[in-house]
Amino acid sequence: MSAQSLSFARRLNSWYRRHARDLPWRQTQDPYKIWISEVMLQQTTVSAVIPYYEKWIRRFPDIRSVAAAGDQEILKMWEGLGYYQRARNLHKAARMIVGEYDGQLPPRADDLRRLPGFGPYTTGAVLSIAFDQRHPIIDANVRRVFMRWLGKEGPPTTVQDGGITEALLEVMPQRNLRTFNQALMELGALVCKNKEPLCHMCPLHNDCRAYASGMQEIIPLREKKEFVELDVAIAVASRRGRYFIQQRSAQGLLAGLWEFPGGKLEGDETPTQALVRELREELDVEADEIVPFMRTRHFYTRFRVQLHVFTCRFRGEPRPAGDHRWISKSGFKDYPMPSGSAKIVDKILKQC
C-alpha cells in the first residue's frame, strides 16, 4: 500500500474514533442486525431509522423470526419507512436463508447476491461490516466524498463510477474494513455534506482536489428533483362505528398495503366530484353526507400528492375488485398502510 493510502486510512480512522455517532447497529457485529440496519438506511435518514430498527429487533430478534412472520405483519412493522419493496425482499431473503443456510447469513458474496434485495451495496456492507472482508461500499455519502476528493465534476447519476471504485480500493486498508467503510460513510454524512460541507473539519482536505480549487460547493453538481403534482380525493366511510378500507393489488409500488378508497382528480373536477366518481367506478356505490375532514400533503418517490379527505356514508354495499374490510378504530393497528393513509388514521383516532 502506498504512503498516500496509509495516510488516507489513518487520518480517516482517527477522525472516526473521535466523532462517530453512537448508533444502535454499531454496538454489534451480528450480521443479521447489520443487514437490517443497512436495508432500512437506504433512502431513509438515520434519525428516522433508529426507532424502526429498535422496534424491529425487539419483535424479530433473528432471521428465523422474520421468516416465520406473515407478509402483513412485515409490512405493518415497516409502515412509515416507505419503499416497501425493501421489506418484501427482506422477508423473501429471510425465508431463503432459513431454507438454504440454516438461518445464518452466508459470508460469501456469491451466496449473498442470490438473495432478494442484495445488490452491490448491501452485499458489500454486510461482508465488510459484519465479516470484516475487503469489499467497497459506495453509497451517496461515499460517492460524494470521492467525487470531491478526486475532483470529479458533474451530477452523481451521470458520473456513474468514474474511477471511484478504483480509487477507493487503492486507499482501502487490508484489515479493519468495518471501521474504514463506516468512517467513510460517516464523513460524508457529518462533514462532506451535500450542502455547506465543513471542509475545515475534514481529515482529508489537505489533498482534496475540490477543496484545493474552491469547487467543494459545486462538486458534485446537484440535480433538481422534479415532482409530479397530484390531487387525490379520499373517502373515510363509516358504518356503525366501523371504517371501510381496501387492499391494494399484489403488484406495484404499494402492493399489499391497505388504504381508504378514492382516486386522482381528473380535468376540472372538484375534490368532491372526483370522490363521487371514484366511488361509483371503484365500489359501485353512491356517497351521502360528504363532509370535508382534512387536507394533507404527502411525498413519495417522484410524486407530491395533495390529499383531500372527506367523511361520508355509503348508499348500498361496496363491491371492490380486491379484498376489503369494515374495521373498528382499534383494528387499524393490524393493517399496514401507506404514510398518507396513516396520517388519516391518526386524525380518526384523535377526533372521531
pLDDT at 227 over 90: no
Share the mean pLDDT of the chain: 93
**How far, in Å, are 65, 100, 110, 134, 279 from residue 107 at the CA level?**
20, 13, 9, 12, 52
Mean pLDDT across 129-145: 95
Model confidence at 9, pLDDT cuts 50, 70, 90, reads very high
Model confidence at 1, pLDDT cuts 50, 70, 90, reads very low
Cα 178–chain centre separation: 22
Q: What is the pLDDT at residue 157?
A: 60
pLDDT at 226 over 90: no
The secondary structure of 180-208 as a DSSP string is HHHHHHHHHHHTS-SSS--GGG-TTGGG-
**CATH number listed for the domain at residues 228-351:** 3.90.79.10
**Crossing angle (nearest 10°) for helices 164-171 and 140-150:** 90
pLDDT in tens, 88-116: 999 999 999 999 999 999 999 999 999 99
In the chain, where are the structural domains located?
3-212, 228-351
**3-212 and 228-351 agree in CATH topology:** no
Amino acid (one-letter) located at 346: D
> Is 226 in the active site?
no
Can you name the CATH fold of 3-212? Endonuclease III; domain 1 (1.10.340)
Who has greater pLDDT, 6 or 324? 324
Residue among 38, 79, 186, 259 flagged as catalytic: 38
Q: Which residues pair with 315 in a beta bridge?
A: 286
pLDDT at 159 over 80: no
With residues binned 3-state (H G I as helix, E B as strand, rest as coil), the percentages for the chain, rounded to 5, are 50, 15, 35
Q: Give residue for cell 362505528.
A: 241
Rounded to two decimals, the pTM is 0.86
Contacting residues for 160 by C-beta, under 8 A, at least 6 apart: none
Q: How do 303-315 and 228-239 pair as beta strands?
A: parallel
Amino acid (one-letter) located at 191: V
Model confidence at 232, pLDDT cuts 50, 70, 90, reads very high
